[in-house]
Structure 1
Amino acid sequence: MSAQPEGPTVATEASPPGPRPGPDTGPHLDPRPESVTESGGVGADDPRGAAPARGPDAVHRGAFHASPLAMVVVDRAGLIVDANAAALPLLRTTGGGALVGRVAAELLDLSSDPRTWHTYLEVLRGRQARLSLTRRLKHAAGHSVWAQVTVEPMPGSDAVLLSLSDISARRELQDRLRHLRMHDPVTRLANRSLFFERLDAALESGAYEGTGATGRVGLCYLDLDGFKAVNDTLGHHVGDRLLAAVAERLTRCAQQQAAHATGGVPLVARLGGDEFALLVEDSTGTEQPAALAQAVLDALQEPFDLCGQRLSLSASIGVVERQIAGATTTGLMQAADTTLYWAKADGKARWTLFDPERNAHRVTRQALASGLRPAVERGEFVLDYQPLVELAGGRPHGVEALVRWRHPQFGLLTPNRFIGLAEEDGSIVQLGRWVLRTACRQARRWQLDHPGVPPLFVSVNVAVRQVWDSDLVADVAQILEETGLPAELLQLELTESAVMGSAGRPLRALRALSDMGVRIAIDDFGTGYSNLAYLSRLPVSALKLDGSFVRGFQYETQTQTQPQTQTQTQYEPQTQPQAQTQYETQGDTRHETQRAARHETQCEARHEGAPSESGGAPTDPADAVIVEALVQLAHRLGLTVTAECVETAQQAERLRRIGCDAGQGWLYSRPVPAERIAELLASGRGTCQADTEGSGFGNP
């Protein structure tokens, strides 16, 4: 690649003394051959006659200028004092004399990088042994070359030698290999490695002020809906062609946005499988990646014609846009992945923008889930008890055990915050066993401490997973034996959907428990998948009507408008506002125990100092008819009926007149600690009337 220099070469101050060479030999070298004796002198029989001997310096200087490796000699001030012929074209000159006195650092752009510049100066001062770097140079012929530059001191001299090696061919090969390594072979898009390299670079460059950039970054993280079915039914070759077609549309969307917005073309990458990402560097705000996401959805709506198949496809997209300051690659990708999950959970074929508040609930949920099992071992759970009151005489004849979590970080948590999580990870078995043992032990203590009072039975909620994942019958038998509680003083509550249609192991477990003497109750009856014909074959002793039916019993008639002062402002607020559980309970209705826990919160929420959800409406005739029919059906089957969420005396009276056996709700008491139940028993009160003072019990 190097061209022969034109004109004289560069003279140096180190030229040896002697006769000046002729014009054809250059200023330093005498090309005439010599016969050199072993002592270094010229032989007497040399036909050319005597000639002066050439020393080692002359030989080295000849090798310097004849070397195909480009070399430049620089003094300690950084000025060029000599250069060989191979260096001239790489330094954009054909005349050696033009380089003498030039600043080498300027020709090689060594000052552009502070670290490189510092190291170069250290080599010039003799404090560093060597510097090696790669530079792209302009060749004298007009094309660009890549050169490997090495800077090192010359032994025995104050000068420094710069050597330049043309590595353009090697660099081109490296670039081709890098392209193959950084691009997906199926879609020709950037792959995961290149995407993260660009993302890291964007976050790093945007962190410096004064760069002229917006200081923001946007990301669209998408996943194809139903792509696995294409691979499974039509084969991977069709799947690969579909991915390539999707890549073309994504690239077109990115190019179209770049034509209508500031900044460069968003990077389109395939991260793996059917996951793609579009990186918007120097984003101008949330609207930019959101518009890109919508454009992608619109582009994918058009069917794909592949291999004689007409395929329709959609995508779910998570959109994240934020300031670069304080952002990290890990945090950005976690947010994108979370938002993509939301888009799929919300129904797919849509884009969803990252919501910090929603994510905070997700993080809280994850923190609760990870701490459930250790919390049981640390004793962070406690039980409150809510009386079950006979409507005919107002006497409490049982209590329902309700679990709370005294979380060291989040405070007192009601069941709707953690029961569903416990069912998901299986810790409900361990927690349910603790609740059952604690409630039975407490019921036995009340019985022993108050022998003159009719004993209260304790009602405990049981999750479906407890029946499947543990030997519930053996657990109940062991706990009753340990605590000494009679079996008839224990009632187990299962939700209607969990009991109806039960067969196999669950039904055998229920029958075994009933044969043992344990009461079986169906909770939230009337809201699940009722199978009334099947109800008669279940070993059930009680039904608990869902509170949604009781709301219609707010008043006797339309003209009766007595205010509800006795129940509207007397209770303390919820531990956690209902709004805080919006996202945590969303989509979890498949967990029946969690549904019951939410039902408890809904009953409590109507006592937040606001009117009942019925809004002061008159009695709903439909609710009255349904409740009366359910009560009559239950009694014909030999079952007792307890109404949940009883709020007012009018509701209680209406329920009593249609034959409902018992009531449970804040009219009588909020859930209270075991000591308050003991006080009720110790007082000898035979009734539990309306709670008008928020003390936890009705006044005598």
Structure 2
Amino acid sequence: MESKKNINTLIHQYVINDPLHQLFDAVDVISVQGYDEDRRVIYWNKGSEHLYGYTEDEAKGKKLEDLIIPAAMRDAVINAHSNWIVDDIEIPASEITLQNKNGKEVAVFSSHVMFTNQYDTKQMYCIDIDLADVKKAQANAVFNEHMLKAIFEALPDLFFLMNKDGTIVDYHASSIDNLYVAPTEFIGQKMTDVLPGMVAKKFETHINKVLQQDEMTSFEYALNLPQGLVYFEARINNLSKYDQIMVIIRDITEQHKSAELIRQQAHYDSLTLLPNRFLALDRLSQILIEAQRKNEKTAVLFLDLDDFKKVNDSLGHEIGDKLLIESSQRLQSVLRKEDTVGRLGGDEFIILLRGVEDHHYASKIVEKLLNNFRKSFKINGKELLLTMSIGIAISPENGNTVSDLLRNADTAMYQAKSLGRNTYSFFTKKMNIIIQRRIAIEEQMYGALQRNEFYLHYQPQFDTKNKYVIGAEALLRWNNPILGNVMPDEFIPIAENTGLIVPIGKFVIEQAVSFLAKWKSVSEGKKKLTMAVNLSPSQFRDEGLFSFIKTVLSGENIPPEDLELEITEGLLMSCQLNIADVLAKITNFGIKLSMDDFGTGYSSLSYLRKYPFNVLKIDRSFISGITQNEEDLNVVKATIAMSHSLGLTVIAEGVETPCQLTLLNELGCDIVQGYYLSKPISENKIIEQYSDSL
């Protein structure tokens, strides 16, 4: 076997024989250049082309100081390079300002490494990270630090050179903090003998895999270090030419924490810390299965705080949020450990009671809840009275499914509202008030398209940094001569259930694309404009959806990339077999795909990895609290960082204050929309207000 070589020599041989160049080529967001002893370019990756404007052919053979070094720095750079070559005085990593092909300044964090090849010739490699985008994305010091760390983690922190039997022969560490034991304890030892059992087993498995398949393999693991539990990603490659193995390890603790934070937020309400809608309904599903097995009854309580909107409007959201928090605590104080209280959204809560013996038992619990709310709330020195209305549905007599029980409890709650509020009502088959309303809506909805009762309003979307309009979201409205203005939250679910959403959805797409063409024409192409349209789960059951969208875009001469289709997690959870195929067709055609209401669902993070999204839309429930609530701020910050790392554009909806807008700009959010900037308006008003100013 070949004698042990210095790791720097091996790494450089690895570089000049292509594999490490291929690694650098794959990371095209980082600029990597190589220079010989005369400072002439011998390597120039895609990242360097993007950063400095010179192609590889233009750069190769040229001297460093003639390419990217400003005139004022050239003597210093030449001297520094010479000192390293002659006297072994390293050039320290630092933030410097270089220049691109056009002579413009380029701020980078530049680090350097000197290799000596097999011909005893020295070669210097520079790794430059563009600081312009980093600084733009992170306006405050803490967030800037996190983003810089994430970028640096794209490069390996630790190198281990091993023989094929796993014996460590050499190493390189940018920081010894992440070494599990001191170098004197692992040099000459097998990796599997140094690490804890479960981690060692992973290394053994993947080392065998890379030797058998002769291709790079990667895996994650965690170690308890003095600074705490640290998560790592290991990448193992077989250096078959040298009969050795290279292991490259990086610290992914911050990414892991961010993912955990988002997973936590996907299950629990950020304000009250109660289970959110999807987790509460999932628990109800499990409770019903258990109750059926044990032949028990389950009670579902739908709670709505009375006149809570008036509290928010008159006293402000800060007091409203505190009321919601204390309300959730009062609800929990009455219940048993086996019962569940969750927040459905806004001022709506759900309570799940296991093992209910009869209506009398449920009544006792509900009366305790109402009595608990009769005591005044003391918030910010104010004494407030808050009541609630409660609807009760009991399984199995009021339904055996989650949707039936939730709907019936909701209907019973509205009955309690009609009885004067601050009371409760059991669901009965005689409750027709809400059902009749729904029937009336359904009846009037048939033929509404033909009668031209539907129309669109558009909510402008703005570039966060420059505050100029970049497009709009199309929002459906309905005015009926009998029912008057019917809110989308009321008629869209009914349209979904009846299947009418399919022709209505086509109407929305046609109108939105037609208006976009008109808007572009009026604005004379001064700015690129896009249109966002919501798609419902039922529309995806229409096999002709994709071809219809293509036809509409072609008819109005609108490029596919100017249309953005927004979908919610409800679609992805519907288990339709063709969803993945349709989404792939849409994105392959060039249409943008947006995840709407991110963070309010159950498994949104996994869907971002599974489906080809281009845009992520942060739900208004997080945006409303970012200037007062540290948890909301951290979630939004982590979401933006995660989205940008995945190459996604981030939109924040529900921006209602200048402080929220300023903070979102500092966090690097790309696009914003909300009442502070503009309410949804008609097409005439949007053209009047946002065409000349483009």
TM-score range, shorter chain: 0.3 to 0.5
Q: Which has the higher strand share?
A: 2
TM-score by length of 2: 0.39
TM-score by length of 1: 0.39
